[in-house]
A and B are shown apart, each in its own frame.
Chain A
């Protein structure tokens, strides 16, 4: 069960010719796949294409109507290998995964696929997670396209362009027998827009036909001599075919402008940013009609030499807007111009930032520099600080006075009061107590080397836990500690999520540790979902999934590859118990890897499941017990050690109600889900007696009410007695 349900939205996938589709970019891409007559779709979730996977999962009935097979791939490598179905058969297939991290994993299959080439259209939808909000290394998928010769599409970030890119992508792939990569930036994936739909198309050739009448062509298999032929073929046949197709169908766009002696080449994905900046500079209107001619490269690779030369013909200079580094396209275009003896001056990362996200502000600075150099605008303001008033002055609004504008940049004092908000564990997250327990163990046994992994649990490296020395990639937590395998006073600890475990960790980490006789400890965080990517099911999920096989225990898999020391801990909130289990694992003299499976359901998903049930029970007048925690402000001394060992969003601070105390006291916000961590921690760490757990019983039984009344009476008498004593001295 995914974090977000698309059950409503997927009905848009049924829209017919002429009807208007309104919605999220990634949903439009899904619709385009149906309109392109795909036979199979596969992928591995991860921002920003998680929604694509969730949409497909929620749309399986619609997919079946069109005879489309949808696979939740075990990894990006699996997804890429799935495209093998398009090598021998006229089957259109699409796979999707996240950015370079996914392409890294998939590259083996992608290289083999690209070498032999394809018969049916093969489309790889890559969601780029670059710049603001990104949680991965900042690299370009572009390099993979170049090294394996896979065509790379980077359409303008509006729904019609993205839909066109999908459809043309399949045709380009078939025309040039080459897989095609469709690059979608994160903002494009989530952009809300509209396009005019066409009818969905059912594939003329079905998967079962391929299975029933298999075909083989040894010349498509990557083995000498065929592999050497492939290399030649790529350049002599596939490349020219692709270039012809791109030109014939005008995949790249030329926009004319009055200032004919200059021009700007831009990646499709950066088109909107460029146009907005030109408009701010008074060089375009809101409709995108520019004074400067534009060459929009919706095809980022290959570069079409003829088009570049045609565009640059007779221009003094051009500016290339290419986000990310290395500047592959800039180098390519430079070579094209030089070899053609073209004298047009090429600007790019000499005026724009060499690295980092091309935010509107950065593009504005670069384009202004270019526009001023070639007298498109007055060379009045040049400094960065004045960029903004200059921008504003181009708008209808009156230009602000510099003094006012400078406020925008008076950041220094602000930097002291505006603090970062790193992402962290959600309220009631079952992973938090794991790291709280590790903190307690650290107090007793000292610090250990911790090899972290990818997933929510990586938040442990941030405050308040500060746990984790390295992270080498998804499912590679245990692999990252491989070298730490010598006799030593301490064991190394590895963290791995259930997602990473099934993705590759079982073999790359656990089996590897068994084979190499490691003694280290691996903690597998088993919360029943790939939570960081949006709560998709995995093999070990407890939820019954109608179309997937779940309920396969991680402990069984671990024992299956030969681990002797395995403990499955069924309630991570038992901090003291977890602490003792960790201590046992770290002090055990038994040889061989230790694996501790820490189980508790992801609280986000659990709440989503339980809340409706509770509402129903309350409505039906059934007995319901709600638990939440609280802090007694009169015994809390405002030391906040409870927060330093928890970091729960619902555990906060408030002004001390005691007029004598100045430090704020801890407080539990109403968002508390009563997971019990606070109490367990104050016990395990011997913190303070201020925490209380309140159990609120709705619709109690008659007997409960009677007994409660009796207790209240007895307690009340004593309390009043005490109150009277104090009252004598009160004033």
Chain B
């Protein structure tokens, strides 16, 4: 048979998400091929996949010159055959993984060109904690499966050039030089398409350059560690830093110093002192020095002690640094005016908790005032932070910071914190593993209003469990319970795990 005497079609699969320009890319490649004397065929299965779903565009090119005396035309396929694809273009890292999973990427022939940026799946996004999959896993699979892998963050490039990923991919495709067409032919294709030509060509050039010289790709910087001891001006803070520096080793040290910084920002040096004393109290209880407990504690104690109350929110929302950040985030030009509107919905409980403890407790207790208050606060408010009235409102609220220690919320949080710490201290000597899991339980306490209440509820249950059955409770069980509490926001997994472990 003539099979090997004649050239094969060039087989190209494009994996993209709906509305990502995969179709445009396919059309470019077809036009490129046809202008360069090839038969070109492309097809896809749009339908509802267009609506943000993952979809595959498939292209085949065949040189007319190779045809026997100008004909017959080759029979081209309408879908890729696993193990028989020359080039795979993936607009995103998980789509690259999908291409490997579908067997489209093989070591004997496939050049895989992919963007390393992530567009998170709904499963990853909606997790209550961190549901993101390991990008290195995906990269490793791509690396292992492809004959040649060219990948870099094309989304960032596209954004910088004010263009789209498909243009960068097209540039990378030209850059790897697997197609028998010149750079000029590629660029002419973009010009013929005639839409956003200038920015597309710039993005194309970037993709081309990086594909030819991957060395240009800059790796992300690792988390900075404080190699040298910082020296605060304020004496109390300086003392705190010194104490932490001597008490702890990395990674606990960096986290604890960050914690001191956070306490000063949140309240004042005295509060930082309280933070360090609390660390100290657990550290003393430690038999030897398992830094993971202290690292976890430095992190989670700082987070808990800087709980988000109305004062904190008002403070953060009104800072100049925040105004600048928003400006930069939304990409507002200097000539443009920017209005920042906050969506605030304080509930009666939160208002009471921000008041002096006695008053707050009394207001919470009074059913008539509660009814009234809840009616007043039933609707959320939109506050324009950079209007005079809006700013002053929040600024005044944040000005109550010095009186924070008197508030009901402060009392409640501190009772909880102390109970938590006492249990940690109690179990750290005999059962450090359990203590560690107990420290990590602080993760449950986050969010606002209902979310926050639910978290606290689960956290309290776990503390009670440790207090009561600590001796019979294994670290694994506690971890399982904590993860169950983060599995769904109805608390179903949590209840069932409690039951399965025989506590409820």
* A residues with CB within 8 A of B: 22, 47-48, 129, 131-135, 157, 186-188, 190-193, 271-273, 275-277, 279-280, 282-289, 291, 359-361, 364, 387-389, 391-392, 394-400, 404-405, 407-409, 411, 413-426, 456, 459, 462-464, 532, 576, 628, 630, 632, 634-635, 637-641, 643-644, 647, 649, 651-653, 659-664, 670, 678-679, 682-689, 691-698, 700, 704-705, 708, 711-712, 714-716, 718-720, 722-723, 726, 728-731
Across the interface, B446 reaches (CB within 8 A) one of A291, A464, A638, namely A638
Candidate in B106, B134, B138, B145 with the most chain A CB atoms within 10 angstroms = B106
Instruction: Tell whether, in the assembled complex, residue B330 and residue A660 are in contact, meaning their CB atoms are under 8 Å apart.
Output: no
Instruction: Tell whether, in the assembled complex, residue A694 and residue B340 are in contact, meaning their CB atoms are under 8 Å apart.
Output: yes
Instruction: Tell whether, in the assembled complex, residue A696 and residue B145 are in contact, meaning their CB atoms are under 8 Å apart.
Output: no
30 A-B residue contacts at CB 8 Å?
A135-B47, A187-B45, A190-B43, A191-B78, A360-B80, A418-B138, A421-B53, A422-B53, A425-B52, A426-B51, A459-B51, A462-B122, A576-B379, A659-B254, A660-B299, A662-B443, A664-B132, A682-B343, A682-B380, A683-B345, A693-B341, A694-B339, A696-B332, A697-B339, A705-B337, A711-B388, A714-B388, A716-B320, A719-B319, A728-B233
Residues of B within 8 A of A157 (CB): 78
Residues of B within 8 A of A190 (CB): 43-46
CB of A395, distance to nearest CB on chain B (Å): 6
Instruction: Tell whether, in the assembled complex, residue B447 and residue A639 are in contact, meaning their CB atoms are under 8 Å apart.
Output: yes
Residues of A within 8 A of B105 (CB): 408
CA distance A459 to B49 in the complex (A): 12
Q: Is B28 an interface residue (CB 8 A)?
A: no
Looking across the interface, which residue of chain B has its beta carbon closest to that of A286? B74
Tell me which residues from 204 to 248 in chain B have a Cβ below 8 Å from any Cβ of chain A. 223, 230-234, 237, 241
Instruction: Tell whether, in the assembled complex, residue A388 and residue B103 are in contact, meaning their CB atoms are under 8 Å apart.
Output: yes
Known: A47-B47, A272-B77, A425-B51. A398 touches B108 (CB 8 A): yes
Tell me which residues from 463 to 482 in chain B have a Cβ below 8 Å from any Cβ of chain A. none
Across the interface, A641 reaches (CB within 8 A) one of B78, B84, B447, namely B447
CB of A134, distance to nearest CB on chain B (Å): 7
Across the interface, B1 reaches (CB within 8 A) one of A271, A282, A420, namely A282
CB of A462, distance to nearest CB on chain B (Å): 8
1/0 per residue, CB under 8 A from A, across B317-359: the answer is 1111111001001111001111111111101000000000000
Instruction: Tell whether, in the assembled complex, residue B317 and residue A192 are in contact, meaning their CB atoms are under 8 Å apart.
Output: no
Instruction: Tell whether, in the assembled complex, residue B75 and residue A415 are in contact, meaning their CB atoms are under 8 Å apart.
Output: no
CB of B443, distance to nearest CB on chain A (Å): 7
Instruction: Tell whether, in the assembled complex, residue B316 and residue A634 are in contact, meaning their CB atoms are under 8 Å apart.
Output: yes
Known: A692-B340, A696-B332, A696-B336. A414 touches B451 (CB 8 A): no
Instruction: Tell whether, in the assembled complex, residue A647 and residue B308 are in contact, meaning their CB atoms are under 8 Å apart.
Output: no
Tell me which residues from 367 to 414 in chain B have a Cβ below 8 Å from any Cβ of chain A. 379-380, 382, 385-388, 391, 395, 398
Residues of A within 8 A of B316 (CB): 632, 634-635
Known: A192-B30, A285-B6, A404-B108. A692 touches B342 (CB 8 A): yes
CA distance A424 to B51 in the complex (A): 6
Looking across the interface, which residue of chain B has its beta carbon closest to that of A48? B47
Q: Is B360 an interface residue (CB 8 A)?
A: no
Instruction: Tell whether, in the assembled complex, residue A423 and residue B1 are in contact, meaning their CB atoms are under 8 Å apart.
Output: no
Residues of A within 8 A of B82 (CB): 360-361, 388, 408
Known: A283-B1, A396-B8. A186 touches B341 (CB 8 A): no
CA distance A276 to B82 in the complex (A): 12
Residues of A within 8 A of B98 (CB): 418
Instruction: Tell whether, in the assembled complex, residue A647 and residue B122 are in contact, meaning their CB atoms are under 8 Å apart.
Output: yes
Instruction: Tell whether, in the assembled complex, residue B52 and residue A426 are in contact, meaning their CB atoms are under 8 Å apart.
Output: yes
Looking across the interface, which residue of chain A has its beta carbon closest to that of B446? A637
Tell me which residues from 38 to 71 in chain B have a Cβ below 8 Å from any Cβ of chain A. 40-56, 62, 67-68
Known: A287-B72, A417-B138, A731-B241. A192 touches B1 (CB 8 A): no
Known: A456-B51, A652-B125, A697-B336. A405 touches B106 (CB 8 A): yes
Q: Is B17 an interface residue (CB 8 A)?
A: yes
CA distance A596 to B259 in the complex (A): 52
Residues of A within 8 A of B450 (CB): 685-686
Across the interface, B42 reaches (CB within 8 A) one of A186, A191, A389, namely A191
Tell me which residues from 67 to 116 in chain B have a Cβ below 8 Å from any Cβ of chain A. 67-68, 72-84, 94, 97-98, 100-101, 103, 105-109
Looking across the interface, which residue of chain B has its beta carbon closest to that of A715? B391
Number of A-B contacts (CB under 8 A): 415
Instruction: Tell whether, in the assembled complex, residue A640 and residue B84 are in contact, meaning their CB atoms are under 8 Å apart.
Output: no
Residues of B within 8 A of A692 (CB): 326, 340-343, 385
Q: Which of B177-185, B262-270, B431-439, B492-500 contacts A (4 or more CB under 8 A)?
A: B262-270
CB of A681, distance to nearest CB on chain B (Å): 9
CA distance A424 to B395 in the complex (A): 41
CB of B62, distance to nearest CB on chain A (Å): 7
**Extra inter-chain contacts (20) besides given A630-B330, A696-B330, A729-B268, CB under 8 Å:** A273-B77, A291-B1, A405-B107, A420-B54, A462-B122, A464-B126, A630-B326, A637-B447, A639-B447, A644-B126, A652-B125, A659-B223, A664-B132, A687-B451, A689-B313, A692-B342, A698-B335, A719-B320, A720-B320, A722-B398
Residues of B within 8 A of A697 (CB): 336-339
Residues of A within 8 A of B127 (CB): 640
Instruction: Tell whether, in the assembled complex, residue A273 and residue B329 are in contact, meaning their CB atoms are under 8 Å apart.
Output: no
Instruction: Tell whether, in the assembled complex, residue B51 and residue A276 are in contact, meaning their CB atoms are under 8 Å apart.
Output: no
CB of A433, distance to nearest CB on chain B (Å): 14
Q: Is B121 an interface residue (CB 8 A)?
A: yes
Looking across the interface, which residue of chain B has its beta carbon closest to that of A276? B77
CB of A663, distance to nearest CB on chain B (Å): 5
CB of B27, distance to nearest CB on chain A (Å): 8
* B residues with CB within 8 A of A: 1-4, 6-9, 17-19, 27, 30, 34, 40-56, 62, 67-68, 72-84, 94, 97-98, 100-101, 103, 105-109, 119-130, 132-134, 137-138, 141, 144-145, 159, 223, 230-234, 237, 241, 254-255, 258-259, 261-262, 264-265, 268-269, 299, 302-303, 308, 312-313, 315-323, 326, 329-332, 335-345, 347, 379-380, 382, 385-388, 391, 395, 398, 443, 446-451, 455, 489
Looking across the interface, which residue of chain A has its beta carbon closest to that of B236? A729
Instruction: Tell whether, in the assembled complex, residue A679 and residue B268 are in contact, meaning their CB atoms are under 8 Å apart.
Output: no
Instruction: Tell whether, in the assembled complex, residue A637 and residue B308 are in contact, meaning their CB atoms are under 8 Å apart.
Output: yes
CB of A501, distance to nearest CB on chain B (Å): 20
Looking across the interface, which residue of chain B has its beta carbon closest to that of A258? B1
Instruction: Tell whether, in the assembled complex, residue B234 and residue A392 are in contact, meaning their CB atoms are under 8 Å apart.
Output: no
Across the interface, B47 reaches (CB within 8 A) one of A133, A396, A715, namely A133
CA distance A712 to B8 in the complex (A): 67
Across the interface, A276 reaches (CB within 8 A) one of B6, B75, B331, B379, namely B75
Instruction: Tell whether, in the assembled complex, residue A688 and residue B108 are in contact, meaning their CB atoms are under 8 Å apart.
Output: no
Instruction: Tell whether, in the assembled complex, residue B386 and residue A415 are in contact, meaning their CB atoms are under 8 Å apart.
Output: no
CA distance A285 to B344 in the complex (A): 69
Instruction: Tell whether, in the assembled complex, residue A272 and residue B343 are in contact, meaning their CB atoms are under 8 Å apart.
Output: no
Across the interface, B391 reaches (CB within 8 A) one of A630, A637, A696, A718, namely A718
Instruction: Tell whether, in the assembled complex, residue A688 and residue B339 are in contact, meaning their CB atoms are under 8 Å apart.
Output: no
Instruction: Tell whether, in the assembled complex, residue A414 and residue B141 are in contact, meaning their CB atoms are under 8 Å apart.
Output: yes
Looking across the interface, which residue of chain A has its beta carbon closest to that of B343? A679
Residues of A within 8 A of B395 (CB): 718, 722
Looking across the interface, which residue of chain B has its beta carbon closest to that of A429? B51
Known: A644-B126, A731-B237. A418 touches B97 (CB 8 A): yes
CA distance A532 to B387 in the complex (A): 42
Residues of B within 8 A of A419 (CB): 94, 121, 123-124, 133
Looking across the interface, which residue of chain A has its beta carbon closest to that of B449? A686
CA distance A698 to B331 in the complex (A): 12
CA distance A659 to B230 in the complex (A): 16
Instruction: Tell whether, in the assembled complex, residue A414 and residue B261 are in contact, meaning their CB atoms are under 8 Å apart.
Output: no
CA distance A712 to B101 in the complex (A): 55
Known: A652-B120, A686-B380. A719 touches B323 (CB 8 A): yes
Instruction: Tell whether, in the assembled complex, residue B313 and residue A286 are in contact, meaning their CB atoms are under 8 Å apart.
Output: no
Residues of A within 8 A of B128 (CB): 639-641
CA distance A599 to B25 in the complex (A): 35
Residues of A within 8 A of B47 (CB): 47-48, 129, 133-135, 186
CB of A679, distance to nearest CB on chain B (Å): 4
Known: A280-B84, A662-B130. A689 touches B42 (CB 8 A): no
CA distance A722 to B308 in the complex (A): 19
